[in-house]
A and B are shown apart, each in its own frame.
Chain A
């Protein structure tokens, strides 16, 4: 080992507490602007990537940002739902493929996404095991959701009630897991996908119960004749869809009136997209069509402005900290005057003493750069989900 390096190393090793403190202080000074920049850049890229892959979005009027974020990241929607007939309307126009999203309910912390199998194709999601949902009451789990719910294909999960004291609210539905998706690193990993109709069963818009024509207990009926029977509230709905009871599940009212939180529209081509947007812009309708890329790009723009301000503040604080650190180094050299004098008296050259001090500073700075690099990497891995969580 080089002698000046050896002496510098010994000095830092002996004063390990002070050295560690110094390394951590400098690391933070470097990490704050660097990490923030990395975090925002990576976060922006991820946000934009998902938004860019979602050409058009239809939803109720209101916050475009809320609609985009809830549709892309399955956050609890804050906008009102639109009616399912909007899906049919888009389909009839033959300008693109509509994919409904119903995101009202959850299984514990995982969002239930009621949609159609088209969603899997649209997002290019492939199955790690099992198959896609085919009948009412089946679900497919994102990789992370499966991990968090400790669920496997063949087992079942129960939807969480939306309000414990809301008698008209959703009630738990036991769903069979028929497939688990490959990990994608997106919010799809966190979701529990079901057919849109299953999501309506959870919401209570559709239900199954025993055949009222066969009921002998009069307390379960309010009225009954040869053509119809009116159930009393004492009739209980099924909380699980089985081959035995699936045929009893039915929808009340016009399915066109049923709610969907958003509709992803995959236009046939650029022209179709323009035509669709034009129609929705001209129409005095109760729905809006937006381009998520544009909405998220505005959000990212705001994030970048905030980031720039924070980085500027970080750099100013960093310069002040580095000035203090330079002062600390200078003071330390002054305190070590006797020691440096001894080396000089015994026979050390000015260059040698300079190299020892330079190496000490260099080792501290190098360690700080490495630590801040590691912190930035950690931030890259854990910060993006955090930022997505913060946004949601």
Chain B
């Protein structure tokens, strides 16, 4: 489903350099990515999701070559096909839980917000234990609840690929397991592919495949890693 070919990336004003000869992520595959800090895990996720463009090489999402698309087409594709979950939750403080979940439908006309979508957002929130908190604002939620809202926002578009950047890094073990159970269950039910960056060795058993970025890529940075 996702294919990376001869990918190389470097930041203009940095000695950081990432090179991936080949990476294939299958449909409904759960891929865990580990590695030390600063070795390019988040950069890899940003490349896969099209947030940043590689210096060279190709990225395919299904039959579509992501690297050949324009910025807006990439955004449209990301919105429709990918769900993003961030380490810091990245919720909009001034939107209620329900509005945060519906955010993908409000920021791009390619997705139309219908009453059915609102009902689905409510059901999703209820299934994640947020049913009584739909009108609350993120500041009034616990860390675990905030991340559940963030997960619901990623799932509301029914993505084919879930991209998670250390989604459990700020959570206690109980909340961590709850979040991971939700993600696992969704991916299993809908055959959604999952790419998750994590430092947490306790959760590696949940993935079909775990890649250490140091083993499948060449990278350099200014701290002397190679």
Contacts and interface: CB of A to CB of B under 8 A. Distances in A.
A339 B93 CA distance: 9
Given A342-B86, A347-B76, A3 B106 contact: yes
B94 A14 contact: yes
A348 B93 contact: no
Nearest to A338: B90
Contacts of A347: 75-76, 78-79, 104, 107-108, 110
Interface stretch (A5-13, A157-165, A209-217): A5-13
B99 A343 contact: no
Contacts of A345: 49, 51, 78, 84, 90
Interface in B123-157: 137, 153
Contact of B99 (A10, A339, A352): A10
A7 B72 contact: no
A348 B107 contact: yes
Interface in A125-149: none
Contacts of B108: 347-349, 352
Nearest to B46: A345
Contacts of B105: 3
A167 interface: no
Question: Which of B88, B95, B105 has the most chain A CB within a 10 Å cutoff?
Answer: B95
B78 A339 contact: no
Interface in A56-81: none
A223 interface: no
Nearest to B110: A347
Interface in B89-107: 90, 92-95, 99, 103-107
Nearest to A341: B90
B25 to A, nearest CB: 19
A343 B84 CA distance: 11
A3 B107 contact: yes
A7 B78 contact: no
Given A14-B137, A348-B75, A349-B75, A343 B103 contact: yes
A346 interface: yes
A15 interface: yes
Given A3-B107, A346-B103, A352-B107, A15 B94 contact: yes
Given A10-B99, A348-B75, A343 B107 contact: yes
B113 interface: yes
Interface residues of B, number: 27
A7 B84 contact: no
B78 A10 contact: no
A383 B174 CA distance: 66
B111 to A, nearest CB: 8
A346 B107 contact: yes
A15 B94 CA distance: 8
Nearest to A339: B92
Interface centre among A13, A338, A347 (most CB of B within 10 A): A347
Contact of A11 (B76, B78, B79, B94): B94
Nearest to B82: A347
A6 B106 contact: yes
Contacts of A352: 107-108
Contacts of B72: 349
A208 to B, nearest CB: 80
Contacts of A7: 92, 95, 106-107
Contacts of B110: 347
Residue from A15, A338, A341, A346 having most chain B Cβ neighbours under 10 A: A346
Given A345-B84, A348-B75, A3 B95 contact: no
A6 B51 CA distance: 25
B139 to A, nearest CB: 10
B190 to A, nearest CB: 19
Given A349-B108, A352-B108, A342 B94 contact: no
A346 B72 CA distance: 12
30 contacts: A3-B105, A3-B106, A3-B107, A3-B109, A3-B113, A6-B106, A7-B95, A7-B106, A10-B94, A10-B99, A11-B94, A14-B93, A14-B94, A15-B94, A342-B90, A343-B103, A343-B107, A344-B75, A345-B49, A345-B51, A345-B84, A346-B79, A346-B107, A347-B107, A347-B108, A348-B107, A348-B108, A349-B72, A349-B75, A352-B108
Interface of B: 49, 51, 72, 75-76, 78-79, 84, 86, 88, 90, 92-95, 99, 103-110, 113, 137, 153
Interface of A: 3, 6-7, 10-11, 13-15, 338-339, 341-349, 352
Given A10-B94, A15-B94, A352-B107, 20 more contacts: A3-B105, A3-B107, A7-B92, A7-B107, A339-B90, A339-B92, A345-B49, A345-B51, A345-B90, A346-B84, A346-B104, A346-B107, A347-B76, A347-B79, A347-B107, A347-B108, A348-B75, A348-B107, A348-B108, A349-B72
Across the A-B interface, give the 9 residue pairs with the lowest CB-CB distance, nearest first.
Answer: A347-B79, A14-B94, A348-B107, A342-B90, A3-B106, A347-B75, A347-B108, A11-B94, A343-B107
